Amino acid sequence: MDTKTTMRIGILGGTFNPIHIGHLILAQDALEQFELNRVLFVPCAKPPHKKAAGLLSAEHRLRMIEVALEGDLRFEISPVELQRGGTSYTVDTLRELAPAWPGARFYLILGGDSLLELHLWKDVYSLLELCEVVTLVRPGHDAEPVTAETLSLRAPWPGRLVKNVWTGHRVEVSSTDIRRRLAEGMSIRYLVHPAVEMYIAEHGLYMMK
């Protein structure tokens, strides 16, 4: 029997520029809360909803994810978007992943802010048919509460989506702040995995030129 047929696979996408402890805690919260078997970290080639200026090379971002996840069998990397190239749309990624995980159920992991913008995503209704969206909000962090009324989607999706909104750990860490701290010569200890901190230092990443 193919062990993949009953797998519950979480999908966590992003630029990971760089990956930090907030990403790792989000993945762990989702895995435990929604009883996932595995979480795939999917670094994008080109983000569709943010500027790509300052985006580190795919090679460096992929390697930082690898060192951050090393030894944790719950987490895995999928380079599908990097290999496909171009603008990274989640609906295309889910269509591409499905044949590799026959019978698996996919759970797209979002934060509260991303859920509120979900109606802007490419082929959103096709995407919603391909996966179950699970959302973890940070207490006191997300600017607007997530309710069925705040989701600009047609029925029955708002009601379904809010049922999968849960509270995760409050982690005030962002890749933007990490890049700023590095550019200003400040420490990023405790904000990223130690192996990521070492990789950044060894390669002189994000330093002010």
What is residue 107's three-state secondary structure?
A: strand
**Mean pLDDT in order along the chain per 10 residues (209 residues):** 68 97 96 97 92 88 98 97 97 96 95 93 98 87 74 95 92 94 96 98 88
Other C-beta atoms closer than 10 Å to the C-beta of 146 total 20
**Could you give phi then psi for residue 19, rounded to 5 degrees?**
-65, 140
Instruction: Please name which of 168, 195, 199, 208 lies closest in space to residue 70, comparing C-alpha atoms.
Output: 195
Contact between residue 168 and residue 180 where contact means Cβ atoms under 8 Å apart? no
How far the first Cα of the chain sits from its last, in Å, is 54
What is residue 91's three-state secondary structure?
A: helix
Name residue, tokens 């809360």. Answer: 33
Rounded to whole angstroms, the Cα distance separating 67 from 9 reads 21
The burial of 8, by beta-carbon neighbours within 10 Å (0-12 exposed, 13-18 middle, 19 or more buried), is given as middle
Length in residues, the chain:
209
Residue 105 C-alpha from the chain's centroid: 17
Q: Find the DSSP H helices in the chain.
A: 21-33, 58-69, 80-84, 90-97, 112-116, 124-130, 157-162, 175-183, 194-203
Rounded to whole angstroms, the Cα distance separating 28 from 7 reads 16
Rounded to whole angstroms, the Cα distance separating 102 from 105 reads 9
**pLDDT value at position 100?**
92
